[in-house]
Chains A and B, each alone.
Chain A
Amino acid sequence: MTHGTWGKMKGTRQMDEYTIRISRFNPEVDDGPTLKEYTVSHVDQGSVIAALIYVYEEIDSTLLFSYGCRYKLCGKCAIKINGQPGLACETTLEDRMTLEPLDNLPVIRDLAVDRSGLLEPLRKYGLVYSADHEPEVALQPPEFSQLMRCNECLSCLSNCPAYKEEIDYGGPFFGVKLAELYYDVRDGKKQLKHLESFLDQCIQCRQCDVNCPWDVNFSEISSKIKGEVFKHKGVSVRDWLMSRPHLVGHLVSSVSSFFNSLVKKKSVRKIIDVLLRIDERAPFPEYHPGKVLPREGIERTTKRKVAYFVGCFDRFNDPDTAKNSLFVLEANGVEATAFDPGCCGAPFIGLGDLESARNRAIAVSRELRKLIHQGYDIVASCTTCGAVMKYEYPFLFDQLKEEEVQSRIYNLGDYLWQMHKAGELNTDYKKIKRRVGYQSPCHLKAQKIGAPFVDLLQLIPGLELAATFDKCCGMAGTMGFKKERYELSQRIGNPLSDEIRGKKLDLILSDCASCQMKIKNDAKVDSVHPITMVRQAMR
């Protein structure tokens, strides 16, 4: 995994030879796929598809891959490039690339997946356009145009953890098609009922947006539709509470030690299970009292001013991460302050309560703007809060749309890495002899900034990053707590737990608090935010 987005064609570049690895697999004769190395030459400024065509023409024409249009129109060339789905025709070839077929679809051979399965779901989900006449006047909403851009490459299906695990879930691609009908003014919103049960399975991990070549961004659209569904449905006590972590945090943290010991009791969890339908097997966060405050009297050596966004989990469940983050920033001469405007609204969005979420977005944005005016950069360690401010605020609530504002909102790891690149990070770290793993949370991947902490952790002498993981943990915000969705959450999360257990590590670093909880609970391995390591390494 590398920091930064992977290549799109830009500029001229010359290189004589590239070595690429291609997954070869014929299900009729092979037990499983193997990666084979090929040397490709004279494909200056070439795309990945050019390299595949080269291999096919010059080396081995038993290689199977598909393409049609040669530039972004047909969607047929999508494969996994260095683990990420993308169009082979629009991705610039780089040395040492690994090319594999998309996930979650049957492989015909090598890189080609079988797309013929697309017809059945179209029948099954009743995707029938049924307007009986073409109206005189028909102006489509912007969502419709956005959805129409889809070139059906199926990258999103390849990424979707819920599609992989839930046979009844059509996944983002069919979601796009259903949503397109829903937003089509001519078809008249007939699809809402359908979409309701369909979207129930979506865990809003945003992985469908990450590699979409046309920025269709289904997860944004699905949040909107969930909002529509929510308007027609009531809300349970549990969901009401769960969407208000800040309120609950306030109530509970004043009696935190009592509460923590109470919910450790099996009998109590059983009661909660029955009464609130919070699954007794699910992890449960610990609560802490108090407020996170920056220290006084720190020497400033850079011009940087940071307002550190204290998320609900930081505030009430894991004050260490916030403290460590502020410590690291301040120790590097940054003027840091804790920015604690209350919940970012993510849980409301998850529930579909967009009105409440909008109120949060407006309140947070107001405060955030003030800080930016005062010269602060906004930095969040929680990947969900960060993704929500960067993507949902502008798209769902028309907040923080301006590039000048957006460009000032950072993920913590990214911010530190940029300080490092500017020579502003003191990396005279202590040696830490330890083997750890790193897990990339979905909402970090959704920010398309790679995994900056992987690079940062490599600056710590002695620290061995023995494995990186990028599967979804299955917690999906609050889904993993919910009794009726616990099974799905487990099915999505189990592959990660299995993989982690297989590596025999005693610590997994993950930027996301939900992932940490889930890893601790299921893989039975300790898990903390990677800033903890950086903090420990400081002299």
Chain B
Amino acid sequence: MTKEFDFDVIVLGAGGAGCAAAITAARNGTSVALVSKEGIGMGNTRMSGGEMSSSGVVDGDSAEVLKQDMMRGGEYLSNGHLVDIIARNASSAIRFVQGLGHYFRRDEEGRFSGKAASRLGGHSFPRSFGGLAVSIAHALRNAVANTKSISVFEDTLVTTLFREGDEIRGALGVDLKTSECVVLKAKATVLATGGCGWLYYPQTTNNRTATGEGYAIAFEAGVQLVDMEMVQFFPFAMNHPPHLVGTLLDEPILAGPKGKLINGLGEVIADHDINKMTRAQVTALMAKEISAGRATEWGGLKLDLSGNLDVPEMLEFKRVKDEVNFFEKVRIAYGEKAFNWKEPWDVSPSSHYMMGGVKIDPHGHSSMKNLYAVGEAAGGAMGANRLGSTSIADIFVTGIVAGKEMSTWIKEREKGKISNSLISREIEKIEKLFGQKGPQRPIKLKREFQKLMRENVGIVRDGERLSSALSQIDRMEEEVENALSVSSIRRYNTEFLDAVELKNMLTCARMIATCALERKESRGAHLRLDYPDKDDAHWLKNIIIQKKKSKMETSFFEKDISEI
């Protein structure tokens, strides 16, 4: 049985960006549906470090300096207008989150000062405020629960955007607990589905649900996406034991002024100031060693922190982290000595954040009428590399801005119709999966696909591997169409979920590989062995990708040099 609902606004994805958009829109008098394939306040937001950028807390810092840092950190590929909005609104977004009940770390006098902030790699000043991210998630859920005009759809997987003509008029969801379809009609639709780290499982810091579906369903609807080749790999993550592979350790800041990186041959490849480098720089350094065959037995490098044992700020850093048991897994997996920095840690880069995404204007509006994108689902602000703590700022700023904008926008709009034939065609696609027979279990193909991504579309890339990846993606797409077996269970069928996710993950991967093949230089997170240098003369531009007449097409967006 299909249910149909009508709302002013539907928000797809309920991490930080989705909740902020929903709460803001609802507070401004609109009726909102908040939809997520898991619970409210989940996603990467809930498991993040909870560090959020502010600006101007210490002397000399300002929104302008934050903006410059982000532009430089993004290696000048970022959309300056978006960065501007984020930088100018970061501090007020912190107040928004505080207003929902979250508590950001303060100094020992209880003040919100520079002393309580950390200076993360690539930032000119200490300006990142931490706190426990679960507490952000709880504050969000609580606010959602207590906002009357938000209707909640949990455990509801969004599979399609309904496009009629040149506008989006709603979305189709599947209630995973019953496998019933839900048709959500709306004047405005917001994509807040987060990132796609799970494409690289297990080499990812991300949540199980970060499967990049928002990118894929936007693409299918003909929406423009930008910078899809820019996948950030976080430099310091666990690389063993197997069940902890990929899970996050910390920013370059962890290396402190005196941390060293040592390769598998015992050679020191960096011995100071790693903490001042950006993630992209550290990851590139590591990737070079690893891909040259000089990795440790676990496929990573050794991070030796012992030099920092006489650096007071680093001891303070450790104390703060230990208070919340941040490195507990190091103790468990690598032992007590490693936990106390007396033995090096084995670390590998791990897929962490998608800089690319749905191309938006400064109000969060996409290239398609009535469709907005916020948070990690949107692209463009982070350019070729994101600085630590800017994502949490970004998700709240973009969520709030879009939430406000929409509530004005929808007042002038009539709700468009969605044709019954479109609805039933999409529902049929869903229904057909249940009980489908085939030789391949979805999870098997998913794992094969993830291996392909790690090997061919991962940290270091080259033309040959990317092309080969694209042809394997073709083959896998065919298998998804024709060879998957899915049980007919209606009560939370994960084979069904895997099948839908995999289809979208493949679309997302195709965009990443296509753009990565296109960009013939190395910049930020994008490392081409066959084009190792940065090429400002030709590549100071963004790659836009879009579906046109059922084909994937790329085009370019030249940077306005005056912005830089």
Interface residues of A (CB under 8 A from B): 8-10, 26-28, 43-47, 49-50, 53, 56-57, 61-62, 64, 67-76, 89, 108-109, 112, 114-116, 118-120, 122-123, 127-129, 131, 134, 136-140, 144-145, 148-152, 177, 181, 184, 186-187, 214
Within the complex, which residue of B38, B142, B244, B332 is in contact with A128, where a contact is CB–CB below 8 Å? B142
Residues of A within 8 A of B132 (CB): 148-149
A27 to B325, CA, bound (A): 39
A56 to B139, CA, bound (A): 33
Within the complex, which residue of A44, A62, A74, A134 is in contact with B489, where a contact is CB–CB below 8 Å? A62
Asked if B342 is an interface residue, CB under 8 A from chain A, the answer is no
Asked if B409 is an interface residue, CB under 8 A from chain A, the answer is no
Whether A134 contacts B98 by the Cβ 8 Å rule is yes
Whether B491 contacts A57 by the Cβ 8 Å rule is no
15 pairs across A/B with beta carbons < 8 Å?
Answer: A9-B332, A9-B333, A45-B243, A70-B202, A71-B329, A115-B39, A116-B39, A118-B39, A120-B145, A127-B146, A129-B100, A131-B99, A148-B135, A152-B137, A177-B138
Given A62-B493, A148-B132, 13 new contacts (CB under 8 A): A46-B243, A56-B494, A61-B442, A70-B243, A70-B244, A118-B39, A119-B145, A129-B100, A131-B99, A134-B112, A137-B111, A152-B137, A181-B101
Q: Nearest chain A CB to B96's CB is how many angstroms away?
A: 10
Q: Which of B99, B139, B491, B498 has the most CB of A within 10 A?
A: B491
Whether A74 contacts B207 by the Cβ 8 Å rule is yes
Residues of B within 8 A of A114 (CB): 177
Within the complex, which residue of B134, B246, B323, B328 is in contact with A151, where a contact is CB–CB below 8 Å? B134
Q: Nearest chain A CB to B493's CB is how many angstroms away?
A: 8
Residues of B within 8 A of A187 (CB): 101
Whether A119 contacts B106 by the Cβ 8 Å rule is no
Q: Nearest chain A CB to B525's CB is how many angstroms away?
A: 22
A108 to B177, CA, bound (A): 7
Residues of B within 8 A of A128 (CB): 142, 146
Q: Nearest chain B CB to A195's CB is how many angstroms away?
A: 16
Residues of A within 8 A of B221 (CB): none
Asked if B119 is an interface residue, CB under 8 A from chain A, the answer is no
Whether B332 contacts A8 by the Cβ 8 Å rule is yes
Residues of A within 8 A of B492 (CB): 64, 108-109, 112
Which 9 A/B pairs are nearest by Cβ-Cβ distance?
Answer: A129-B101, A139-B110, A50-B243, A73-B47, A122-B145, A45-B241, A69-B47, A137-B110, A116-B154
A187 to B141, CA, bound (A): 18
Whether A68 contacts B110 by the Cβ 8 Å rule is no
Whether B207 contacts A69 by the Cβ 8 Å rule is yes
Asked if B369 is an interface residue, CB under 8 A from chain A, the answer is no
Asked if B42 is an interface residue, CB under 8 A from chain A, the answer is yes
A119 to B306, CA, bound (A): 46
A148 to B135, CA, bound (A): 6
Q: Nearest chain B CB to A99's CB is how many angstroms away?
A: 15
Whether A109 contacts B39 by the Cβ 8 Å rule is no
Asked if B40 is an interface residue, CB under 8 A from chain A, the answer is yes
Whether A46 contacts B241 by the Cβ 8 Å rule is yes
Residues of B within 8 A of A73 (CB): 46-47, 133-134
Within the complex, which residue of A9, A62, A115, A116 is in contact with B495, where a contact is CB–CB below 8 Å? A62
Whether B100 contacts A57 by the Cβ 8 Å rule is no
Interface residues of B in 304-340 (CB under 8 A from A): 323-325, 328-329, 332-333
Interface residues of B in 492-550 (CB under 8 A from A): 492-495, 498
Q: Nearest chain A CB to B265's CB is how many angstroms away?
A: 24
Q: Nearest chain A CB to B110's CB is how many angstroms away?
A: 3
Whether B100 contacts A116 by the Cβ 8 Å rule is no
Residues of B within 8 A of A56 (CB): 443, 494
The answer to whether residues A138 and B106 also contact, given A46-B243, A61-B498 and a CB cut-off of 8 A, is: yes
Whether B241 contacts A74 by the Cβ 8 Å rule is no
Residues of B within 8 A of A138 (CB): 103, 106, 110
Interface residues of B in 420-457 (CB under 8 A from A): 441-444, 447
Interface residues of B in 148-189 (CB under 8 A from A): 152, 154-155, 177
B210: nearest chain-A partner, CB-CB: A68
Within the complex, which residue of A26, A67, A71, A122 is in contact with B146, where a contact is CB–CB below 8 Å? A122
Residues of A within 8 A of B417 (CB): none
Residues of A within 8 A of B328 (CB): 72
Residues of A within 8 A of B39 (CB): 115-116, 118
Q: Nearest chain A CB to B225's CB is how many angstroms away?
A: 26
Within the complex, which residue of B98, B242, B324 is in contact with A46, where a contact is CB–CB below 8 Å? B242
A43 to B98, CA, bound (A): 43
Q: Nearest chain B CB to A183's CB is how many angstroms away?
A: 11
A123: nearest chain-B partner, CB-CB: B145
Whether B208 contacts A140 by the Cβ 8 Å rule is no
Asked if B209 is an interface residue, CB under 8 A from chain A, the answer is yes
Whether A49 contacts B42 by the Cβ 8 Å rule is no
Asked if B272 is an interface residue, CB under 8 A from chain A, the answer is no
A114: nearest chain-B partner, CB-CB: B177
A187 to B38, CA, bound (A): 30
Whether B208 contacts A122 by the Cβ 8 Å rule is no
A132 to B40, CA, bound (A): 24
Residues of B within 8 A of A43 (CB): 242-243
Asked if B490 is an interface residue, CB under 8 A from chain A, the answer is yes
Within the complex, which residue of A26, A27, A46, A137 is in contact with B109, where a contact is CB–CB below 8 Å? A137
Asked if B95 is an interface residue, CB under 8 A from chain A, the answer is yes
Residues of B within 8 A of A115 (CB): 39
Residues of B within 8 A of A72 (CB): 328-329
Residues of A within 8 A of B62 (CB): none
Asked if B367 is an interface residue, CB under 8 A from chain A, the answer is no
A108 to B141, CA, bound (A): 21
The answer to whether residues A139 and B106 also contact, given A28-B490, A61-B443, A122-B146 and a CB cut-off of 8 A, is: yes
Residues of B within 8 A of A62 (CB): 487, 489, 493-495
Residues of A within 8 A of B108 (CB): 139
Q: Nearest chain A CB to B311's CB is how many angstroms away?
A: 26
A187: nearest chain-B partner, CB-CB: B101
Residues of B within 8 A of A27 (CB): 491
A122 to B139, CA, bound (A): 11
Whether A134 contacts B99 by the Cβ 8 Å rule is yes
The answer to whether residues A184 and B101 also contact, given A50-B243, A64-B492, A152-B138 and a CB cut-off of 8 A, is: yes
Asked if B278 is an interface residue, CB under 8 A from chain A, the answer is no
A57 to B133, CA, bound (A): 30
Residues of A within 8 A of B154 (CB): 116, 119
B489: nearest chain-A partner, CB-CB: A62
The answer to whether residues A119 and B141 also contact, given A137-B110, A138-B110 and a CB cut-off of 8 A, is: yes
A374 to B444, CA, bound (A): 65
Asked if B247 is an interface residue, CB under 8 A from chain A, the answer is yes
B441: nearest chain-A partner, CB-CB: A61
The answer to whether residues A57 and B47 also contact, given A64-B494, A144-B103 and a CB cut-off of 8 A, is: no
Residues of B within 8 A of A151 (CB): 134
A57 to B444, CA, bound (A): 7
Residues of B within 8 A of A47 (CB): 243
Whether B442 contacts A70 by the Cβ 8 Å rule is no
A53 to B245, CA, bound (A): 14
A126: nearest chain-B partner, CB-CB: B146
Residue-wise, chain B 227-243 has the 8 Å CB interface mask toward A (1 for contact) of: 00000000000000111
Whether B208 contacts A57 by the Cβ 8 Å rule is no
A109 to B155, CA, bound (A): 14
A10 to B334, CA, bound (A): 9
Whether B103 contacts A148 by the Cβ 8 Å rule is yes
